[in-house]
Structure formats: C-alpha cells, structure tokens
DNA sequence: AAAATACTGAAGTATCCACTTGACAATTCT
DNA sequence: AGAATTGTCAAGTGGATACTTCAGTATTTT
C-alpha cells in the first residue's frame, strides 16, 4: 500500500509546523540571517537552526554561510514539488468525477 | 508576528501525516467506507476514524453516514485553499525576484 | 430475537518533535 | 590580543499525536 516518497514526506512535515511557515513568510519578503529570524520569532537561534535544517531538506529554503552569518532565502524546488502533488491529486479526483458524470448520463438512458 | 490562520494550520497538519495522505490517495481513486480503509491501511477502525475527523476538519474529505456505514470521499475546499496558499507565496517571492532584477539592472548603470 | 457488522467514545501508551540549556567553534570588531 | 557576535553540537524535557484496547451503540442480517 505504501508507495513511500521520502521527499514528499519531508515536504509536508516541514510545512506542517506554523513556525516554519512563518519563516517562509518572512523569507518570501526578504532573505535574512538565523539570528534575525530567532529574534523575530521569539525563540532561540538553536531552534531556528533546527527548523532551517528541516526546511532545507524539504527544498523550501536554501542557506549560505558567509563568514559567521548564515543567510537564508526561499528555494523554488519545494514549492514546485508541492504544486505538482496537488496537480496529480486534483486530476485524480477530477477524472473520478468525470466517470461519475458518465455513469449518470448512462443511467439517464434507462 | 503570528497572523494565525487556523484553517491553514489544520490543513497542513492534516497533510503532514503519511497515513492521512495515503487515505487521500485512496479516496482520490474512489469513495470508501472507514472499515475498508482500515483493512487496507492495516490499522484499527478507531485510528481511521480519528484521521477522518482531522481530514474533514481540514476540508480535504467529506463523509456521510448512511445506515451504519460512513462513506468518505475527497472534498475540494482543502485542495483549493492549499493551491491558493501556494499562489500567494509564489507571487510573494516572485515579486521579490523582480525587485532584485530591477536592482541589478539599476546597479549596471553605475 | 439473536448474531454479525460498522462505527463511536474514553482512556492509556509509546513515540515523536519543538524547544530549551549549556558548552563550544569560528568570525568580526575594537 | 581580547571581547563581542553568530552559529553549531549534544543532551534533556514537556507536550502533542498516532496508535492501541476495551466497552458501548446503532444498524443490518439470518
């Protein structure tokens, strides 16, 4: 039953947390450092680091360390994958609705 | 900082679990009863009931009880909201990229 | 009416996960 | 060089959560 897709797992798990979505909101506006994110969110830098790891693994954020400061920005890949997932599932039930419509049309003939 | 949106919270939380996404996969193919889902997933009917509650609250699934059997099917609202969320965030960072491009073009003039 | 089916509700458990603290490493500032 | 800044690592804690079992209700079947 389980066609396990670790990438999708990581993606949805990453998006499942409000704090991480808040980070995405912020980064969508402009790239920032981990410390700034921490101050803004009201949590420790350590916590932010952990979130960033997860977001990066999910392909939603990319980070680069210059000197001692790690700058984070939005990354496309994750959003693309998410959009693809929706498209797949949407077409899935849309096809089902079509079949249903066909069946109804069929039964009208009786 | 927190512009809390409970609907989005519920939505992403619902999608964050692999079992619940498996349920969506299955329902995308065809509507089913709770018991069938439980057999297919290899968990208790109780567990399925709990998942269904969450999926329903998120607007991803709708259920209807006829007699003693509860039939579940995909519901559009959740997917629509999800798609809207992506659109919002995509335009957000796309606008940023435009500004960045403008800045680069600007600095070329120096 | 009795037995089987399909689900619901309460309560417990075990695991996961977001967050912390405290110690450390690396870089920049004075 | 010394102090401040920025981030990383290891380990621990509390609360959420995905399950379970057990007991019960409503519906269908025989």
Give the domains, in start order, of chain B with CATH numbers: 6-108 (1.10.10.10)
The minimum CA-CA distance between B89 and chain A, rounded to whole Å, is: 7
Partner residues linked to A32 by β-bridges? A72
**Closest to B72 (Cα-Cα) out of B33, B24, B35:** B33
Distance CA A28, CA A3 (A): 32
Under 8 Å between Cβ of A24 and A73: no
Choose the closest CB to B15 out of A12, A24, A79: A12
Determine contact: B7 vs chain A, CB below 8 A.
Answer: no
Radius of gyration of chain A (CA): 20
Tracing tokens 């952990």 back to the chain, one arrives at A50
Distance CA A54, CA A59 (A): 9
The minimum CA-CA distance between B75 and chain A, rounded to whole Å, is: 9
**pLDDT over 60 (residue B10):** yes
Choose the closest CB to A28 out of B22, B42, B92: B92
Partner residues linked to A63 by β-bridges? A72
Residue range A54-98, pLDDT digits in tens = 999 999 999 999 999 999 999 989 999 999 998 888 766 666 666
Residue range B51-62, pLDDT digits in tens = 999 999 999 999
pLDDT of residue A106: 59
Tracing tokens 């000197």 back to the chain, one arrives at A67
**Closest to A55 (Cα-Cα) out of A74, A29, A33:** A74
**A70 phi and psi, to 5 degrees?**
-95, 115
């Amino acid at each position: 039953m389980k066609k396990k897709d670790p990438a999708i797992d990581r993606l949805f798990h990453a998006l499942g947390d409000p704090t991480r979505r808040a980070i995405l909101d912020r980064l969508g506006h402009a790239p920032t450092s981990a410390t700034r994110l921490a101050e803004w969110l009201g949590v420790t830098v350590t916590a932010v680091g952990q979130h960033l790891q997860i977001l990066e693994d999910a392909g939603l954020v990319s980070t680069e360390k210059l000197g001692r400061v790690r700058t984070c920005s939005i990354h496309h890949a994750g959003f693309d994958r998410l959009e693809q997932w929706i498209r797949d599932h949407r077409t899935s039930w849309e096809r089902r609705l079509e079949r249903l419509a066909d069946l109804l049309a069929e039964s009208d003939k009786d």
